[in-house]
Amino acid sequence: MDFSPTPEQEELRAQARAFLAGSLQPSWDELAELGWTGASVPEAEGGTGLGFLEEAVLFEELGRAITPTPFRSTVAVVLPALPPDLQGEVARGEASWTLATGPLVQDLDTATRIAYVGGDSIWELEGAEREILLTNDESRPLGVVTGGSAGRRLGSSKLLPLLRTRSLTSLALEACGVGARALELAVDHANERIQFGKAIGNYQAVSHPLATTLVELELGRSLAQFAAWCVAEGDDRAPVAAAAAKAHCADAAVAACERSIQTHGGIGFTWEHVLHRLYKRALGIQAWDTSGERLRAEIADHLLGGGL
């Protein structure tokens, strides 16, 4: 039993953090050159043959940096539905994907290709018109597609539960990254900001909410890591673990940002400060796909049987 990251995963995290700190809007080509887009693609198809636990590190770091990229849509959601040759394209940075399952679609501004579900299959959508909508989280615009026609058949719609589990897990991991950064900013500020002759972190009215934030985020990290491990292992518990992780981590990230804004005082309320962008990403994660309340209803059904 070992639930700590491998040295290689730690190394990947350090590399990712350093790269993303210096590259706020990396291109898809750059991510491909780093080997990220093909992390879990077999080496025969041009990938690096790693797995979901390595991708988990990247989801978290990309969340932390609020990087605008179709990485999550492509790698967490669509990739397992793609045939080998199309996976190879993703690994080489030639294509990125998003999945249109509802009226709103993520990453329509950046993903080069669109998948959708029709009947018992997942298809490529060709020739559709894309409209990008203004969104609260500028780093992840939403859009709508109209028209278009079925292109190549990509895979069976039986894959959808797996794609959903991967999507929820990646959102939970992103939330961990967002929340951790918001907390670090709060701690830095509480150590530096002097009022009444002391750093404000001396006051328990300031420090205790930050301790609570750490607890919530650490618990969330455990849930997200467990869900990621279940996905990587193909463990039966993955769907419930992913639902639990997304429900908890999104709320924890939003609360972390809110407490960080409060700790920062007026500066945290300004447009110049990065906090509002982290906050809006956290709110975006919370709102996307399936709400915490709905996920908990699913978990209650799992634990207790059907509703009243």
Partner 1 sequence: MDLHDTPSEAQFRGDLRSWLAGNRPGATDDDAPSPTEVLRDWSRRLYAAGYSGLTWPVEHGGGGKPYSYQAIFHEELARTEAPQHLGVIGLGMAGPTIIAHGTDAQKASRLAHVLSAAEIWCQGFSEPDAGSDLSAVRTSARLEGSHFVIDGQKVWSSYAHIADWCLLIARSDAASERQVGLTCLIVDMRSPGIEVRPLRQITGEAEFNEIFFSGVEVPVENVIGEIGEGWHVAMTTLLHERGTLGFALTASLEVVMRRLIELARDRGATAVQRDAIAREWIELEALRYTAYRSLSDLMKTGVPGPEGAILKLQWSEANQRVTKLALELLGSDAQLLAGNAPYGGYWQYQQLRSRGNTIEAGTSEILRSIIAERVLGLPRSR
- Candidates 163, 223, 254, 285; binder of partner 1 (CB under 8 A) is 223
- Candidates 63, 201, 239, 268; binder of partner 1 (CB under 8 A) is 201
Shorter beta-carbon distance to partner 1: residue 9 or 157: 9
Contact flag: residue 26 with partner 1 (CB under 8 A): no
Answer whether 25's CB lies under 8 Å from 66's CB.
no
- Candidates 229, 260, 279, 283; binder of partner 1 (CB under 8 A) is 229
Distance, CA of 302 to CA of 137 (rounded, Å): 33
Shorter beta-carbon distance to partner 1: residue 222 or 262: 222
Q: Work out the end-to-end distance of the chain between its first and last CA atoms, rounded to an integer number of angstroms.
A: 39
* Sign for the pseudo-dihedral over CA of 5, 173, 272, 15: positive
Distance, CA of 44 to CA of 92 (rounded, Å): 12
Distance, CA of 216 to CA of 81 (rounded, Å): 34
| Closest separation in Å from C-beta 170 to partner 1 | 17
What DSSP element (H or E) covers 124? strand 121-126
Q: Give, as ranges, the residues between 135 and 154 that touch partner 1 (CB under 8 A).
A: none
Q: Give, as ranges, the residues between 166 and 195 that touch partner 1 (CB under 8 A).
A: 183, 187, 190-191
- Candidates 7, 102, 103, 303; binder of partner 1 (CB under 8 A) is 303
Residues 6+ apart with CB under 8 A from 50: 39, 40
| Closest separation in Å from C-beta 202 to partner 1 | 5
Contact flag: residue 202 with partner 1 (CB under 8 A): yes
Contact flag: residue 208 with partner 1 (CB under 8 A): yes
Contact flag: residue 308 with partner 1 (CB under 8 A): yes
| Closest separation in Å from C-beta 47 to partner 1 | 20
Own/partner long-range contacts of 200-208 (Cβ < 8 Å, ≥24 apart): 200/263, 206/263
Shorter beta-carbon distance to partner 1: residue 114 or 175: 175
Which region, judged by CB under 8 A, interacts with partner 1, from 15-23, 38-46, 126-134, 210-218?
210-218
- Candidates 43, 129, 131, 218; binder of partner 1 (CB under 8 A) is 218
Shorter beta-carbon distance to partner 1: residue 157 or 207: 207
Distance, CA of 158 to CA of 160 (rounded, Å): 5
**Residue among 265, 67, 63 at smallest CA distance from 181:** 63
Q: Give, as ranges, the residues between 69 and 108 that touch partner 1 (CB under 8 A).
A: none
Contact flag: residue 300 with partner 1 (CB under 8 A): yes
**Residue among 278, 178, 257, 272 at smallest CA distance from 221:** 178
Residues 6+ apart with CB under 8 A from 241: 169, 223, 226, 227, 230, 235
Query: Which residues would be at the binding site for partner 1 (CB under 8 A)?
Result: 1-6, 9, 53, 183, 187, 190-191, 198-199, 201-204, 207-208, 210-212, 214-215, 218-223, 225-226, 229, 241, 244, 247-248, 293, 296-297, 299-300, 303-305, 307-308
